[in-house]
Amino acid sequence: MVSTRLGAEGLGSQDGEFCALADEPAGFADKILELFEQPEQARAMAERSRREVVENWDAAVLTRRLVESYRAVVREKRVVGGGH
């Protein structure tokens, strides 16, 4: 995958970690060609990307984190509010 830095915002800022990054059309085209020319590196990047999505961006993972944060807020409110 190739993206601009803006398009990949929040996914990581290191070029090649989860996707190739380029902000200009010529650089974008170059990155696409590099991926075709280096299929093993492209495959490894795709595997890292997939692992990142499954571990950190899956709906079940995000829902669990949200529920945990709500529970933490409720616990804090009970402590501060004297258990009411």
Phi, psi of 6 (to 5 degrees): -65, -45
Residue with tokens 């616990």: 75
Full-model pTM: 0.73
Q: What is the pLDDT of residues 17-45, one digit of tens each?
A: 999 999 999 999 999 999 999 999 999 99
Give ∠ CA 27-30-33 in degrees, rounded to 5: 155
Q: How far apart are CA 34 and CA 21, in angstroms?
A: 12
SS3 59: helix
Flag the least confident range among 24-28, 62-66, 69-73, 80-84: 80-84
DSSP designation for 84 = -
Judged against a pLDDT cut of 70, whether residue 84 lies above it is answered with no
